[in-house]
């Protein structure tokens, strides 16, 4: 199974109790648009691997950085990061803005 634009060339899958918890795989940069190059979440450099979870996909320079990030804090907050990394919807009314602000505070 392949997630996103990645090609599972070298793949690391970490499992906890039978279900995959996360997957680290090399990026196929040719699958991205010409002007869209993924950048590392930690260093800001050109990403070479992606960390794929059931909630979101994050890009990193190396497998070591991706594993360190996962074991450090990402595994604890991955379910909270998904709404934060998505682009904000265009909200027109004051009521919709207040509702969105409340959702962010609650998560």
Residue 40 domain-assigned (yes or no): yes
pLDDT-based confidence at residue 12 (cuts at 50, 70, 90) = low
Q: How much is the average pLDDT of 14-30?
A: 78
DSSP letter string, 23-66: EEEE--GGGS-TT---B-TTT-SB--EEEE-SS-EEEESSHHHH
Residue 18 domain-assigned (yes or no): yes
Residue 98 domain-assigned (yes or no): no
Residue 96 domain-assigned (yes or no): no
pLDDT-based confidence at residue 104 (cuts at 50, 70, 90) = confident
Decide: 88 and 100 in contact? Cβ < 8 Å: yes
Q: What percent of the chain has a predicted confidence (pLDDT) above 70?
A: 78
If one counts the domains in the chain, the total is 1
pLDDT-based confidence at residue 21 (cuts at 50, 70, 90) = confident
Residue 43 domain-assigned (yes or no): yes
Residue 19 domain-assigned (yes or no): yes
pTM of this structure: 0.68
């Amino acid at each position: 199974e392949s997630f996103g634009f990645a090609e599972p060339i070298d793949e690391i899958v970490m499992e906890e109790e039978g279900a995959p918890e996360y997957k680290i795989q090399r990026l196929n940069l040719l699958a991205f648009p010409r002007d869209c190059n993924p950048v590392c979440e930690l260093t800001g450099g050109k990403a070479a691997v992606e960390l794929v979870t059931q909630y979101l996909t994050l890009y990193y320079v190396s497998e070591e950085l991706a594993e360190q990030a996962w074991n450090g804090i990402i595994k604890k907050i991955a379910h909270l990061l998904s709404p934060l990394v998505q682009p904000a919807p265009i909200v027109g009314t004051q009521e919709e803005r207040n509702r969105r602000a409340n959702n962010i505070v609650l998560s």
